[in-house]
Structure formats: structure tokens, C-alpha cells
């Protein structure tokens, strides 16, 4: 896998912090033979309390912006690196549907964030389709974003 080669070439360990995907990103990554050489682990942080306790997302950030927001996903990406001792991560939080959407955050709204060597950035995506399709599109966007940030 191209991602594994890029991580290995830079000597980076990857981890994930997942909410709306429920572990699908880490599952896709560990489907690759040899992933133990570059994949450190994952935190599935569906509940806000888990985002706070394991990923160091401040309660004020969650309360002020909501779980599906740029500040929260940025904190998740940085926090999972600290928690799992990695230098590279991807974090996601979104609304996969079919329920849970609002006028401000409709179903398909997903925030993704990446941390590579301490540099953290995020992107907002709007995906369509069923719950499974939103989750699958999120996995693809997460991996694509990692490759872009690693120069792949």
C-alpha cells in the first residue's frame, strides 16, 4: 500500500481517532499486510466523554462547538498522537445519518483532521448517500488526505 510505504520511508507511526466511522479507517489500514510496521493503534471515541478522557479534547470545546466541528477534530488528531505515542494521525467526526442532522450540520457533514509531525490541519466534507456510503467516503477521504500530507 502506498500509504504504508510513505509512512515507513519517513519513519512515522500512524494512529487514528474515529467517531462517525466507528473504527473503519483503522480496519482498512490493518487489512494491509505489514501494517504493524507503521500502524500504532486507534481510539474509537463515539461518546464525548471518551473524546475528553482519551483524546484530551477540552469539554469547553465540545460544549461550545459540538462534536462535529473543526476545533474538536483538530484536538482529536493532536490528542490521539499523544495518547498512542505516534507522530502521524487522522481524526474524523461527522453525521453519518440517516438521523442526527440539523440545518447547520446536515447528514453527511464530516470533519477530518490530520497531524503529521506536529502540524495539524482539517477539512470539512459533505458526503451523500446512505450511512454506509458516508462512512466509506470518509475512509477514502481520510487515507487520501494522509497521502497528500505525506507527499504521496
**What 3-state class would DSSP assign to 123?**
strand
Domain count of the fold of the chain: 1
How far, in Å, CA of 143 to CA of 107, rounded? 21
In percent, the amount of the chain with pLDDT more than 70 equals: 99
Domain at 23, CATH number = 3.90.950.20
- Looking at residue 76, what is its pLDDT? 98
How far, in Å, CA of 96 to CA of 80, rounded? 22
Cα 150 versus chain centre, distance: 16
Answer yes or no: pTM beyond 0.95. Answer: yes
CB 22, CB 47: distance < 8 Å:
no
Percent helix, strand, coil in the chain, to 5, is 45, 20, 35
What does the block give as the cell for 114? 490530520
How far, in Å, CA of 70 to CA of 1, rounded? 29
- Looking at residue 1, what is its pLDDT? 77
- Looking at residue 127, what is its pLDDT? 98
| Tens of pLDDT, residues 22-81 | 999 999 999 999 999 999 999 999 999 999 999 999 999 999 999 999 999 999 999 999
What does the block give as the cell for 136? 466509506
What are the two backbone dihedrals, phi and then psi, of residue 116, each rounded to the nearest 5 degrees? -130, 115
- Looking at residue 98, what is its pLDDT? 96
- What's the pLDDT band for 102 if we cut at 50, 70, 90? very high
Q: State which residues form the domain around 141.
A: 2-149
CB 18, CB 44: distance < 8 Å:
yes
Amino acid at each position: 500500500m502506498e500509504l504504508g510505504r510513505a509512512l515507513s520511508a519517513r519513519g512515522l507511526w500512524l494512529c487514528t481517532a474515529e467517531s462517525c466511522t466507528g473504527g473503519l479507517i483503522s480496519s482498512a489500514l490493518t487489512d494491509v499486510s505489514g501494517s504493524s510496521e507503521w500502524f500504532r493503534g486507534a481510539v474509537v471515541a463515539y461518546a464525548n466523554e471518551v473524546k475528553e478522557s482519551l483524546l484530551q479534547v477540552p469539554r469547553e470545546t465540545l460544549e461550545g462547538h459540538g462534536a462535529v466541528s473543526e476545533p474538536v477534530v483538530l484536538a482529536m488528531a493532536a490528542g490521539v498522537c499523544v495518547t498512542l505515542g505516534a507522530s502521524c494521525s487522522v481524526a474524523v467526526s461527522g453525521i453519518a445519518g440517516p438521523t442526527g442532522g440539523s440545518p447547520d450540520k446536515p447528514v453527511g457533514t464530516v470533519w477530518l483532521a490530520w497531524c503529521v509531525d506536529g502540524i495539524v490541519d482539517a477539512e470539512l466534507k459533505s458526503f451523500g448517500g446512505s450511512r454506509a456510503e458516508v462512512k466509506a467516503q470518509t475512509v477514502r477521504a481520510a487515507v487520501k488526505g494522509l497521502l497528500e500530507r505525506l507527499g504521496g
